[in-house]
Structure 1
């Protein structure tokens, strides 16, 4: 959870001021002093009492000419009040901000509550405090509002909450924007208050251990979970062979010894680790989505790859990461805690895998030759791609034919809302059928479906 930091007035982070923080009926805000450096507060007129002076003078003049004492006195009162408002100033503030997350390691799409408390640790009363929390641009507020208003006496604290929808990545909250006004409200002081909370890190959880990720018998010499046609250490009986001096007594077939008098040794089916590369399609063609507000197919693929990585490495396999269309994003297959940490950093910091990297993408031709130079000769491939063009299908078949057994996991971004979208869906279905006819295994992953459900459904098809 987060820690908090006390930030005195005049030393807060400053940022550009916006008129949206001033009420619509206040009128246009009139800056009276700008920050001399990036750590100073900003004072400005709110325009709340604009026009009062002119109206008061009109009342005085009307009272004199019309000999109306009531209008004259009302005008005098108006001028006095306007002078008081103009002479007033926003009090200086010393504020303490604390931000707490309901869960600081949520899964993508999970709604979590953010609780913010702001305390007046200064000696002045603050009759009008307005705060806008610094929600990162990648996160969306699902319920409530990150805005709050309160009056704070010395030592008093105000607390409010709102709910955000988590998105993949590490999200650092910006300093909260705070507006402080005096009793008249004619002048406001803008300041920025930050706490020392850790970034909100959102990574998908792993798949259940029993999930069948279609690892075929292409293995490495390391022990693992993929069955081979080689006798050795394991659990499943494989064969018997002639006893050799030095064989452990626990492996001697005593039943055969009692029956024939000959010594023989039991062998079991050896299990070895698979070497797997998770290949994510990040080409411009893959940045498609079923609706404008939905995440992209690349983002969906990255989430699936992160879940698969955790499941595979927990099962003892050696796992790597690559991007289709570039050789810049590459983590060789490995295992262990250090390798898991490197993979987590790559998923969080690699620009090509970022949710907003589509804005900086250029056309990236696929180079199977360059990719094969990176791949270990024994590596299997799990390709994450929406399969929305023919080129990726042809390259997938080439990789599989070159000895890298390939399974495709394809998030489906297509819909049937229009004739064109229905045609795109049918074309994608034909590409999947083409891959299956070529002997490749394909997981057709519906958009709102958990990955484990899609894999289980596909596994039933493979075993049929």
Structure 2
């Protein structure tokens, strides 16, 4: 610990000496008696000092412990006095990483702790993607007189790093039910669930013959099961400069939230046996890793596949979207119909499209509507990054909601996502509809 002594009571010593000298010179007993007042302060300051050693234990916890990007996190820092000495004046400041904005409460606290006593500082931050390491909290201890200050950083028990990676959690509706495919069809064929029976035909698999019925003397029949098929889905992230904004300083941008949601869906789809492709609109060619394939117009496009390199290429696209600079560039965005044409040229006809965009302008809605008109089933997942602190933000929020409401149609579904709500709830509600249309 660092000990710093204050000279705040020196004025009392000066007052004592002054009254004493003047009282002796003028032989005034009243002045001599008056020296007792400043002398009392001097004695109080001399006898009051910070303890030479104090045992304090510090514990930090996060709730939730593994948040999603943009999700509020409550940080609790508990300090306990494990010594036999009373700490009359304890000040503590938690070491919050600069990249995490404090939204509620304060990471600072003050308390007086008796032996065995404790105090808890609680505040809220907004999680950003990645690992965020907290510094040890700064602690200052002063006596009642404030004549000295002990300063130190105390080691923390519990959690020191807030991990926000947004790893996949279970989405039950996406689990594959057979090797043939993951979605039921109305026709009978290969599968696991019983569908119907029909007359035996030459060449039918032996394992589909109803031998029990044949043993009863009836004719050979073949069992049909509910046929399954694999869904083909294209995940497109809006990474244009207009989407690289956040509701407040330090909060995730629309592109960061879109990349996070797209990566969650990609991992869930591939884990369930579906076929998923990845693309992004509005990225500079230089922002994409060299190993990521791009079309002749510079739009990254990762075709569906099972090779290990495919997952790495998809991750590279998501990383490029997340790390795109927030400030608008000098790059002139393509026309809306050019986006539609380029996507249409890459998409197989049986593909369903999930577009991730904050929908801050009409472009994503136009692209989604045009793809729907061309026969694709489209889901527009729109993270809300518009705050309501100013009249301008409130107006922009109304315009965005109207934009999304007008976009919904028979083959186009819009999902308004509040980043403070779990993404899984939104996916369970909207994603099965898109997959079932395959």
Q: Tell me if 1:71 matches 2:43.
A: no
Residues 220-254 of structure 1: per-residue CA shift (max 9 Å, x gap): x9643224568422436388586345712444498
Separation in 1 of the partners of 2:277 and 2:80? 45
Distance 1:195 1:78, change over 3 A: closer
Determine if contact 1:60/1:76 at 8 Å carries over to the other structure: no
DSSP-derived class of the 1:63 partner: helix
Cα distance between partner residues in 2 of 1:458 and 1:308:
9
Residues 271-350 of structure 1 aligned to structure 2 (within 5 Å)? 271-288=228-245, 297-298=254-255, 301=258, 304-305=261-262, 308-309=265-266, 312=269, 315-319=272-276, 323-326=280-283, 328=288, 350=319
CA distance in 2, matches of 1:461, 1:246: 33
Deviates more, 1:360-369 or 1:187-196: 360-369
| Structure 1 position 353 matched with structure 2 position 322 | yes
SS at match of 2:172: coil
Question: Which residue does 1:32 correspond to in 2?
Answer: none
CA contact (8 A) 1:57 1:75 kept: no
For 1:179, which of 131, 140, 145 is the aligned residue? 140
SS at match of 1:389: coil
Distance 1:106 1:344, change over 3 A: farther
Instruction: Give the aligned partner of residue 205 of structure 2.
Output: 247
Listed as ranges, the gaps of 5+ residues in structure 2 are: 293-301
Where does residue 120 of structure 2 map in the other structure? 160
Which residue number in structure 1 is paired with residue 364 of structure 2? Answer: 392
Higher alpha-carbon deviation: 281-290 or 104-113: 104-113
Verify the 8 A CA contact 2:20 2:32 in the aligned structure 1. no
Residue 281 of structure 1, CA deviation: 2.4
Residues 265 and 78 of structure 1, relative CA distance in 2, 3 Å threshold? closer
Deviation track 1:245-299 (CA, whole Å, cap 9, x = no partner) reads 57124444987999994x4534434323324343332333224566889865446
Structure 1 pair 289–316 and aligned structure 2 pair: CA distance change class (3 A)? same
1:60 aligns with 2:20: yes
Asked whether the 8 Å contact 1:60–1:74 carries over to 2, the reply is: no
TM-score by length of 2: 0.64
- Relative to structure 1, the CA distance from residue 273 to residue 47 in structure 2 (aligned partners, 3 Å threshold; closer, same or farther) is farther
Q: Which residue of 1 aligns with 2:299?
A: none
Q: Does 1:429 align with 2:402?
A: yes
SS at match of 1:133: strand
1:270 pairs with one of 208, 213, 227? 227
- Residues in 2 aligned to 1:193 and 1:448: alpha-carbon distance in whole angstroms: 33
Q: Distance in 2 between the 1:445 and 1:292 partners?
A: 20
SS at structure 2 position matched to 1:224: coil
Q: Give the Å deviation of 1:179.
A: 1.5
Q: Shift in Å at residue 177 of structure 1?
A: 0.7
Cα distance in 1 for residues equivalent to 2:248 and 2:408: 27
- CA distance in structure 2 between the aligned counterparts of 1:393 and 1:141, rounded to whole angstroms: 32
Which string of whole-angstrom CA distances, capped at 9 and with x for unpartnered residues, describes residues 29-65 of structure 1? xxxxxxxxxxxx5x54556436434444443355345
Tell me the equivalent position of 2:109: 147
Q: Deviations over 1:397-433 (max 9, x none)?
A: 6767899754212245569985895477447635764
CA contact 1:178–1:192 (8 Å) conserved in 2: yes
> Is the alpha carbon distance of 1:317 and 1:113 closer, same or farther for their aligned partners in structure 2, counting shifts above 3 Å?
same
Contact 2:101 2:125 in 1 (8 A): yes
Q: Per-residue deviation at 1:188?
A: 1.9
The Cα of 1:128 is off from its aligned counterpart by 4.5
Q: Using a 3 Å threshold, how does the CA distance of structure 1 residues 77 and 140 change in structure 2: closer, same or farther?
A: closer
Distance in 2, Cα, partners of 1:397 & 1:371? 15
TM-score w.r.t. the length of structure 1 is 0.61
CA distance in 1, matches of 2:214, 2:124: 67
Q: CA, structure 1 residues 80+252, in 2 after alignment: closer, same or farther (shift >3 Å)?
A: closer
Using the TM superposition, name which of 156-165 and 369-378 deviates more: 369-378
> In structure 2, do the counterparts of structure 1 residues 435 and 245 end up closer, same or farther at CA, with 3 Å as the change threshold?
closer
Partners of 1:351 and 1:147 in 2: CA distance:
40
Q: Is the 8 A contact 2:384 2:418 kept in 1?
A: yes
Is the Cα contact below 8 Å between 1:305 and 1:384 reproduced in 2?
yes
- Partners of 1:75 and 1:328 lie apart in 2 by 73
State the superposition RMSD in angstroms.
5.6
Quick check: 1:191 aligned with 2:162? no
State the distance in 2 between where 1:112 and 1:374 align: 46
Alpha-carbon separation, structure 1, partners of 2:374 and 2:218: 49
Q: Flag structure 1 segments of 5+ consecutive residues without an equivalent.
A: 1-8, 10-40, 213-218
2:72 maps to 1:114: no
| CA distance in 1 between partners of 2:395 and 2:190 (Å) | 53
Change beyond 3 A, Cα 1:239–1:434 = farther
